[in-house]
Chains A and B, each alone.
Chain A
Amino acid sequence: MTRTIRLAARQALLEQRSFWRSAEYALFTFAFPLMILLLIGAANVGSHLPGTHIKNTTVFVPGILAFGVIVASYVNLGSKVAVLRHDGVLKRIRTTPLPSGAYIGGLLVSTLATAILITAATGLIGFLAFGARPRPGELLALGGGLVLGTVCFGALGLAVSSVITSSESAGPVAYASFLPIAIISGVFDPTFSGLPDWLSRLVAAFPVKALAEVLQNAYAVRPFPAWDFVNLGLWTAAGAAFAIWRFRWHS
């Protein structure tokens, strides 16, 4: 058991090193969310949510936190595993006595580390640039939401990796399968509204809006998002089940 953990840690370290060495991964994962944070955040400075005293940026910053978590876990892990599978790296791992758990564990730990870093960077910049900070009593809910979000979208990332059919399409498929939902979930625009009733109900069924609301609740007083936690839990279970069912070591 300790050997598996040691091997997983070693694997995670290699993954992190490779990650930071790769401009495309590091740039997209970090620069993209932070750029959106600053650009759209700047456009929202001074505005308030309609009919309230809540600043737009107070809701926008946790939305970008959710976005960062999703990019780090869903997009990154999903496309990464798909590429590893189609390049035959997973197959090669199977020729060694490395326990599968240690390898997958290493990938997950590395993903978690990336998610923590992007969250810290977003939170810090959100505070420094826009003064957005979590409500004092809600740090636990914020931490819980971030962990649940990372686990949920990590599971969904593993699941989507199984339906990606080539290395080249990995990144585009991972992004394209969540960006539209993120947009109509209002992640980039706190005042986003006016969707037809059926569409907003559909969007609420996806975990993107659920995660954003859980994190927004930790920043600004809103109705307690009990349903959103349930939603994330269900998607986690569904994603994990699909990922385990469909997991393959070779393409």
Chain B
Amino acid sequence: MMTDICVTYEQAPVADGSAVYVRDLRMSFGAKEVLRGVDFDVRYGEVFCLLGPNGAGKTTTLEILEGFRSPTGGVVRVLGLDPAAQPGRLRERAGMVLQECGFPRQARVAELIDVWRTYYPNPRPLGDLLEVVELTEMRNTQVRKLSGGQRRRLDFALALAGDPDLIFLDEPTTGFDPEARRRCWAAIENLRGLGKTILLTTHYLDEAERLADRIAIVRDGRIELCGTTHEVATRAGLATRISFTTPSALRRGQVPLPDGIDLAVRGSESVCHTSNAAMTLRLLLAWAHEHRLGDLDGLAVTAPRLEDTYLQLTRDQP
């Protein structure tokens, strides 16, 4: 397993400069082991995504970080605090959006946000909160009359009310239609724009790819891979795809295949896969130059996509 990719073990086990610091996190419910040694760091100011199928342990991890559960083992620091021991101090500085959380039925949008502001020592201004989540026009609407997407954005506003350093978002757009998701994403981008550190979980690839600076793929209680979208795909051993329109000379067999490249001629398209795109391109272009094939029409270099990585990882599931 590649669980050690995310962290450097030589580091002293302290929360040095990370917003979230997790080492060898373990959690069992009875005999059931839900987390089997999770390690990752979230840096200040980044959007970090825990991506994985349902039941992988994402929400349990988040609940431990939020101080709702005590882990069976491991070290957890959030903003330098131990969540289980100092939940009150943590909640002054971390906003939390849980998966399913209701609102008081008769409250109005602005009124509710305003009450939430009184819970915190240094709240953000009301108008500012409404603007960030794009609910200014709904400020006097009763909460029960809001749509699912609007409610979720109100969730964000409440989580942001105390002007936290860090925001947890547990599956922020699950079950939403495309338009609602788009607006939620815009609101999350706004949060990022405020310089907030965001830790979100999702099982949507496009969401992770679009929002996250770094992604950790969680499966079966472990982090399988961690890094930027590109790093994750590379580390999964996925190849970059290089293709171009098959030159007629090559198709007619007047030109030999290039050395050292596993090139496949598929009719009008020629394709190769490589883990070293630069080297392969150099070889390819030199070969083309040597045989007067020009600049290779339709040359395309396709980096491995998160989706390919994810599908490969989940396909390998035991």
Contact = CB atoms under 8 A, between A and B. Distances in A.
Interface of A: 7, 10-11, 14, 17-19, 21-22, 83-84, 87-89, 91-92, 94-99
The 8 A-B pairs at the shortest CB distance, nearest first, are namely A87-B102, A18-B106, A95-B96, A88-B102, A88-B101, A97-B91, A98-B119, A92-B101
B105 interface: yes
A88 B115 contact: no
Contacts of A98: 119
Interface centre among B100, B105, B111, B115 (most CB of A within 10 A): B105
Nearest to B96: A95
A115 B73 CA distance: 49
B66 interface: yes
Contact of A97 (B88, B101, B102): B88
Contact of B115 (A10, A84, A95, A97): A10
Contacts of A95: 66, 91, 95-96, 98, 101, 159
22 contacts: A7-B118, A14-B107, A14-B115, A18-B105, A18-B106, A22-B105, A84-B104, A87-B102, A88-B98, A88-B100, A89-B101, A89-B104, A91-B98, A91-B101, A92-B103, A96-B116, A96-B120, A96-B162, A97-B91, A97-B92, A97-B120, A98-B119
Contacts of B68: 94
B233 interface: no
A168 to B, nearest CB: 13
A14 B162 CA distance: 19
A95 B100 CA distance: 13
A67 to B, nearest CB: 25
Main secondary structure of the interface of A (DSSP, over half): helix
Interface centre among A21, A83, A84, A96 (most CB of B within 10 A): A96
Given A18-B107, A95-B95, A95-B101, 12 more contacts: A10-B115, A17-B111, A22-B105, A87-B103, A87-B105, A88-B98, A88-B101, A94-B68, A95-B96, A95-B98, A96-B91, A98-B119
Contacts of B120: 96-97
Nearest to A85: B102
Contacts of B96: 95
A7 B102 contact: no
Contact of B119 (A19, A22, A97): A97
B158 interface: yes
Interface centre among A17, A18, A19, A97 (most CB of B within 10 A): A97
Contacts of B119: 7, 96-98
A218 B105 CA distance: 39
A29 to B, nearest CB: 14
A178 B29 CA distance: 39
A91 B101 CA distance: 7
Nearest to B97: A95
Contacts of A14: 104, 107, 111, 115
A7 B102 CA distance: 21
Given A7-B118, A7-B119, A14-B111, A89 B91 contact: no
A92 B18 CA distance: 26
A101 to B, nearest CB: 12
A10 B115 CA distance: 8
Contacts of A96: 91, 116, 119-120, 162
A233 to B, nearest CB: 33
A88 B162 CA distance: 20
Contact of B103 (A7, A17, A22, A89): A89
A91 B89 CA distance: 17
Contacts of A89: 101-104
